[in-house]
Amino acid sequence: MFVLVEHDRGEVEPASLEALTFARTRGDVTAVVVGEGADQAAAGLGGYGASHITIATNELLADYGPDAWADALAQVVGAAGATEVLAAGTDRGNEVIAQLAARLDLPMAANVLELAKPGEVLRLQWGGSLHELAAFEEPMLLYTISPHSIEATGGAGASGTVVEQPIELDESATVTMIKDRVTTAEGITLATAPIVVSGGRGMGSAEAFDMLEELADLVGGKVGCSRVVTNNGWRNHRDQVGQTGTVVAPDVYLACGISGAIQHWVGMMNAKTVIAINTDKDAPMVTKADYAIVADLHDVVPALIEEVKRRRA
């Protein structure tokens, strides 16, 4: 079994560690690492179940490009006679596995939750509202794991055997990075925050998010938002939670003025506890939440802030 491990110049994508955790329950695992910083990324993969680690080497692989990465992965799994290849269900993971499937003329399954039995996958469809059982009769199974569907377990300890495999690439399959614009953020990220305080249309303005920022800072969380908020220009897209934004699985998800469209729900449905604040008692978020406060968020959130401050005084 082969797992494509994503990383950003050596820093491994957490969802790839989830994919390794999933894979190791099914047998011997080979992690495939591509790109600049692959050596650094490979160092800790043994602790998450990778007994073998293959580093695909070619200077043209330094920067991410779906064509080049798919070519590299195809050469690695082809040489090994792989029968199962998976990646995390991130934008990059889905893109590379789809490219690999096209090269091998094979189907792929995205957003898989589990393998029911050999050749059958249970996966999310229609924005998470449908669980589909799909059967594959191909010689190689290609799929991606739905983010946060399994908890990554492992860490220090076992080390895998690392080998380098030279990759042949045509320059036409690569991309040239002209400019790298990086936005730095202090502290935890939205995807890893234990508490997410999100706002929707009910916030009413960009300025209203100041109180969510204050509350999130007090409880050690991060502020998120719904798609309509980014469409209105109130928050940056990086703060958007949902199918077309960031998928989160915090301990607590506080939804303030969010109706709860399925596209948003699928991005936070794995939260351990969901709390909704909304004036509409029939809003989908209210009906699905573990706890709901049917009231004006502009009254409730300031009260929550004061209560947290009082208890910490």
**Domain at 63, CATH number:** 3.40.50.620
Q: Identify whether residues 125 and 75 lie together within a single domain.
A: yes
- 187 domain residue, yes or no: no
- 180 domain residue, yes or no: no
**Domain at 279, CATH number:** 3.40.50.1220
- 141 domain residue, yes or no: yes
Q: Identify whether residues 221 and 160 lie together within a single domain.
A: no
- 188 domain residue, yes or no: no
Amino acid identity of 26?
Answer: R
Question: Do the beta carbons of residue 136 and residue 109 sit within 8 Å?
Answer: yes
Q: Identify whether residues 38 and 152 lie together within a single domain.
A: yes
The residue among 225, 223, 271 whose CA lies nearest residue 244 is: 225
Q: Identify whether residues 18 and 159 lie together within a single domain.
A: yes
pLDDT at 188: 83
pLDDT tens for 14-42 read 999 999 999 998 889 999 999 989 999 99
Q: Identify whether residues 287 and 229 lie together within a single domain.
A: yes
Name the 3-class secondary structure at 42: helix
Instruction: With a cut of 70, say whether residue 157 has pLDDT above it.
Output: no
Q: Identify whether residues 26 and 85 lie together within a single domain.
A: yes
Angle at the Cα of 267 from the Cα atoms of 244 and 125, rounded to 5 degrees: 80
Q: Identify whether residues 152 and 212 lie together within a single domain.
A: no
Count of CB atoms situated within 10 Å of the CB of 52: 17
Residue ranges making up the domain that contains 263: 195-312
Instruction: With a cut of 60, say whether residue 276 has pLDDT above it.
Output: yes
Q: Identify whether residues 21 and 67 lie together within a single domain.
A: yes
Label each residue of 149-217 as H, E or C. CCCCCCCCCCCCEEEEEECCCCHHHCCCCCCCCCCCCCCCCCCCCCEEEEECHHHCCCCCHHHHHHHHH
- 271 domain residue, yes or no: yes
- 181 domain residue, yes or no: no
Euclidean distance between CA atoms 5 and 34, whole angstroms: 8
Euclidean distance between CA atoms 150 and 48, whole angstroms: 13
Q: What is the dihedral of CA 125, 66, 39, 32, to 10 degrees?
A: 50
Q: Identify whether residues 200 and 160 lie together within a single domain.
A: no
- 190 domain residue, yes or no: no
- 258 domain residue, yes or no: yes
pLDDT tens for 96-128 read 999 999 999 999 999 898 887 777 888 877 766
